[in-house]
Protein backbone atom coordinates (compact mmCIF):
# COMPACT_ATOMS: atom_id res chain seq x y z
CA UNK A 1 0.00 0.00 0.00
CA UNK A 2 1.23 3.49 -0.80
CA UNK A 3 2.23 5.14 2.48
CA UNK A 4 4.61 7.81 1.14
CA UNK A 5 4.41 10.84 -1.08
CA UNK A 6 7.27 12.09 -3.23
CA UNK A 7 7.81 15.82 -2.94
CA UNK A 8 9.07 17.90 -5.88
CA UNK A 9 12.69 18.05 -4.54
CA UNK A 10 12.89 14.29 -4.80
CA UNK A 11 12.80 13.63 -1.05
CA UNK A 12 10.38 11.22 0.50
CA UNK A 13 8.02 12.53 3.11
CA UNK A 14 5.80 10.17 5.00
CA UNK A 15 2.12 10.47 4.36
CA UNK A 16 0.24 10.71 7.60
CA UNK A 17 -2.81 8.57 7.21
CA UNK A 18 -5.88 10.71 7.90
CA UNK A 19 -7.92 9.65 10.92
CA UNK A 20 -11.32 8.57 9.63
CA UNK A 21 -14.02 11.05 10.53
CA UNK A 22 -16.06 8.44 12.38
CA UNK A 23 -13.14 7.75 14.72
CA UNK A 24 -12.65 11.40 15.58
CA UNK A 25 -16.35 11.63 16.36
CA UNK A 26 -16.19 8.60 18.66
CA UNK A 27 -13.35 10.18 20.65
CA UNK A 28 -15.02 13.54 21.01
CA UNK A 29 -18.66 12.62 21.40
CA UNK A 30 -20.30 11.15 24.44
CA UNK A 31 -23.60 9.31 24.37
CA UNK A 32 -26.10 11.57 26.10
CA UNK A 33 -29.53 10.33 27.15
CA UNK A 34 -32.28 10.77 29.71
CA UNK A 35 -34.51 8.20 31.36
CA UNK A 36 -37.12 8.21 34.14
CA UNK A 37 -35.81 8.10 37.70
CA UNK A 38 -36.12 4.70 39.41
CA UNK A 39 -35.96 3.87 43.14
CA UNK A 40 -32.31 2.89 42.62
CA UNK A 41 -31.49 6.51 41.67
CA UNK A 42 -33.17 8.00 44.73
CA UNK A 43 -30.23 7.83 47.20
CA UNK A 44 -27.98 9.72 44.74
CA UNK A 45 -30.54 12.46 44.17
CA UNK A 46 -31.21 12.73 47.91
CA UNK A 47 -27.50 12.99 48.65
CA UNK A 48 -27.07 15.75 46.03
CA UNK A 49 -29.65 17.85 47.86
CA UNK A 50 -29.10 16.93 51.51
CA UNK A 51 -25.30 16.72 51.47
CA UNK A 52 -24.81 19.92 49.44
CA UNK A 53 -22.23 22.40 50.73
CA UNK A 54 -23.12 25.84 52.12
CA UNK A 55 -21.53 27.36 48.97
CA UNK A 56 -23.70 25.21 46.68
CA UNK A 57 -26.84 26.12 48.62
CA UNK A 58 -26.04 29.80 48.41
CA UNK A 59 -25.41 29.66 44.63
CA UNK A 60 -28.59 27.69 44.03
CA UNK A 61 -30.66 29.75 46.44
CA UNK A 62 -31.63 26.69 48.50
CA UNK A 63 -33.04 27.61 51.91
CA UNK A 64 -35.19 24.69 53.02
CA UNK A 65 -33.16 21.50 52.94
CA UNK A 66 -35.52 18.63 53.72
CA UNK A 67 -34.71 15.75 56.06
CA UNK A 68 -33.13 12.81 54.25
CA UNK A 69 -36.01 10.48 55.14
CA UNK A 70 -38.72 12.91 54.02
CA UNK A 71 -37.03 13.60 50.69
CA UNK A 72 -36.41 9.88 50.13
CA UNK A 73 -40.06 9.15 50.73
CA UNK A 74 -41.31 11.85 48.37
CA UNK A 75 -38.90 10.83 45.59
CA UNK A 76 -39.85 7.16 45.92
CA UNK A 77 -43.47 8.23 45.59
CA UNK A 78 -42.60 10.27 42.49
CA UNK A 79 -41.13 7.09 40.93
CA UNK A 80 -44.33 5.12 41.33
CA UNK A 81 -47.29 7.51 41.17
CA UNK A 82 -49.43 7.09 38.02
CA UNK A 83 -48.67 9.82 35.51
CA UNK A 84 -52.13 11.41 35.66
CA UNK A 85 -51.67 12.06 39.38
CA UNK A 86 -48.03 13.17 39.20
CA UNK A 87 -47.29 16.64 40.58
CA UNK A 88 -43.54 16.20 40.06
CA UNK A 89 -41.48 14.11 37.67
CA UNK A 90 -37.76 13.31 37.43
CA UNK A 91 -35.49 12.37 34.54
CA UNK A 92 -31.99 11.06 35.16
CA UNK A 93 -29.26 12.42 32.86
CA UNK A 94 -26.75 9.91 31.51
CA UNK A 95 -23.36 10.38 29.87
CA UNK A 96 -22.07 7.16 28.33
CA UNK A 97 -24.49 5.16 30.46
CA UNK A 98 -23.33 6.80 33.68
CA UNK A 99 -25.94 8.75 35.70
CA UNK A 100 -24.58 12.29 36.07
CA UNK A 101 -27.51 14.46 37.12
CA UNK A 102 -31.20 15.08 36.68
CA UNK A 103 -33.98 17.35 35.54
CA UNK A 104 -37.19 17.67 37.47
CA UNK A 105 -40.56 19.08 36.54
CA UNK A 106 -42.33 20.40 39.61
CA UNK A 107 -45.64 22.07 40.34
CA UNK A 108 -47.31 20.18 37.52
CA UNK A 109 -50.83 21.44 36.87
CA UNK A 110 -52.21 18.91 34.37
CA UNK A 111 -52.87 20.42 30.96
CA UNK A 112 -51.50 23.75 32.13
CA UNK A 113 -47.94 24.29 33.32
CA UNK A 114 -44.90 23.11 35.31
CA UNK A 115 -41.45 24.34 36.34
CA UNK A 116 -38.19 22.68 35.25
CA UNK A 117 -35.03 22.33 37.34
CA UNK A 118 -31.58 21.07 36.35
CA UNK A 119 -28.62 19.66 38.20
CA UNK A 120 -25.45 17.83 37.19
CA UNK A 121 -23.91 16.21 40.25
CA UNK A 122 -20.75 15.12 38.42
CA UNK A 123 -18.95 18.43 38.79
CA UNK A 124 -16.09 17.56 36.43
CA UNK A 125 -18.58 17.14 33.57
CA UNK A 126 -20.08 20.60 33.96
CA UNK A 127 -19.33 23.30 31.41
CA UNK A 128 -18.74 20.91 28.49
CA UNK A 129 -22.05 21.47 26.77
CA UNK A 130 -23.61 18.23 28.02
CA UNK A 131 -26.15 20.00 30.25
CA UNK A 132 -27.62 21.96 27.35
CA UNK A 133 -28.30 18.79 25.34
CA UNK A 134 -29.58 16.80 28.33
CA UNK A 135 -31.82 19.69 29.38
CA UNK A 136 -33.29 19.95 25.86
CA UNK A 137 -33.93 16.22 25.76
CA UNK A 138 -35.65 16.46 29.14
CA UNK A 139 -37.73 19.44 27.99
CA UNK A 140 -38.97 17.58 24.91
CA UNK A 141 -39.77 14.54 27.05
CA UNK A 142 -41.68 16.59 29.66
CA UNK A 143 -43.63 18.44 26.98
CA UNK A 144 -44.63 15.21 25.28
CA UNK A 145 -45.40 13.34 28.47
CA UNK A 146 -47.54 15.96 30.23
CA UNK A 147 -48.82 17.99 27.25
CA UNK A 148 -48.59 21.25 29.18
CA UNK A 149 -49.29 24.65 27.69
CA UNK A 150 -46.18 26.12 29.29
CA UNK A 151 -42.99 25.04 31.04
CA UNK A 152 -40.77 27.59 32.74
CA UNK A 153 -37.30 27.39 34.28
CA UNK A 154 -36.39 29.94 36.93
CA UNK A 155 -32.73 29.89 37.99
CA UNK A 156 -31.42 32.37 40.50
CA UNK A 157 -30.39 35.45 38.49
CA UNK A 158 -26.94 35.39 40.16
CA UNK A 159 -26.21 31.77 39.18
CA UNK A 160 -24.20 31.99 35.94
CA UNK A 161 -24.18 28.40 34.64
CA UNK A 162 -27.93 27.78 34.16
CA UNK A 163 -28.54 31.33 32.91
CA UNK A 164 -25.80 31.07 30.36
CA UNK A 165 -26.91 27.61 29.31
CA UNK A 166 -30.57 28.59 28.86
CA UNK A 167 -29.64 31.70 26.85
CA UNK A 168 -27.19 29.75 24.71
CA UNK A 169 -29.96 27.31 23.77
CA UNK A 170 -32.23 30.24 22.84
CA UNK A 171 -35.03 30.03 25.43
CA UNK A 172 -36.59 33.48 25.83
CA UNK A 173 -36.06 35.30 29.12
CA UNK A 174 -39.56 36.53 29.88
CA UNK A 175 -39.29 38.01 33.36
CA UNK A 176 -36.91 38.84 36.20
CA UNK A 177 -38.63 38.96 39.56
CA UNK A 178 -38.17 38.23 43.25
CA UNK A 179 -39.64 34.94 44.38
CA UNK A 180 -38.97 31.29 45.25
CA UNK A 181 -38.64 28.76 42.41
CA UNK A 182 -39.54 25.67 44.47
CA UNK A 183 -40.39 24.49 47.97
CA UNK A 184 -36.62 24.18 48.63
CA UNK A 185 -35.77 27.70 47.50
CA UNK A 186 -35.04 30.97 49.25
CA UNK A 187 -36.78 34.12 48.07
CA UNK A 188 -34.28 35.72 45.69
CA UNK A 189 -34.06 37.36 42.27
CA UNK A 190 -35.07 34.84 39.61
CA UNK A 191 -34.88 34.81 35.84
CA UNK A 192 -37.87 33.16 34.23
CA UNK A 193 -37.24 31.43 30.89
CA UNK A 194 -40.00 29.97 28.74
CA UNK A 195 -38.97 26.41 27.86
CA UNK A 196 -40.40 26.09 24.38
CA UNK A 197 -40.48 22.64 22.80
CA UNK A 198 -39.51 23.89 19.34
CA UNK A 199 -36.49 25.78 20.70
CA UNK A 200 -35.28 22.61 22.47
CA UNK A 201 -35.81 20.56 19.31
CA UNK A 202 -34.00 23.08 17.14
CA UNK A 203 -31.00 23.08 19.49
CA UNK A 204 -30.85 19.28 19.44
CA UNK A 205 -31.12 19.23 15.64
CA UNK A 206 -28.32 21.79 15.28
CA UNK A 207 -26.07 19.92 17.67
CA UNK A 208 -26.63 16.71 15.70
CA UNK A 209 -28.02 14.77 18.66
Ligand X SMILES: CC(C)(COP(=O)(O)OP(=O)(O)OC[C@H]1O[C@@H](n2cnc3c(N)ncnc32)[C@H](O)[C@@H]1OP(=O)(O)O)[C@@H](O)C(=O)NCCC(=O)NCCS
The footprint of ligand X (CB under 6 A) covers 60, 101, 117-120, 126-132, 155, 159-162, 164-165, 168
CB of 168 to ligand X, least distance (A): 5
Residue 75 or 115 having the CB closest to ligand X: 115
> Cα–Cα distance between 90 and 138 in angstroms, integer?
9
207, 30 contact by CB (below 8 A): no
> Cα–Cα distance between 112 and 148 in angstroms, integer?
5
Residue 110 or 129 having the CB closest to ligand X: 129
Residue 83 or 176 having the CB closest to ligand X: 176
Residue 99 or 129 having the CB closest to ligand X: 129
56, 65 contact by CB (below 8 A): no
CB of 76 to ligand X, least distance (A): 23
CB of 118 to ligand X, least distance (A): 4
- Burial-class residue 68 by CB neighbours within 10 Å (0-12, 13-18, 19+): middle
End-to-end CA distance of the chain: 37
Residue showing the smallest CB distance to ligand X in the complex: 131
152, 143 contact by CB (below 8 A): no
Amino acid sequence: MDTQDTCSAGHFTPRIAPIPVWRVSCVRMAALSVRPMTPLDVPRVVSYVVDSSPEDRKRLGVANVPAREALTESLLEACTVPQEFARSSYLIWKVDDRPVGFSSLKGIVPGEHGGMHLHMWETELRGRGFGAILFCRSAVEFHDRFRLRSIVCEPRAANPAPNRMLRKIGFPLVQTYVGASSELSAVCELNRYEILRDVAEAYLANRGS
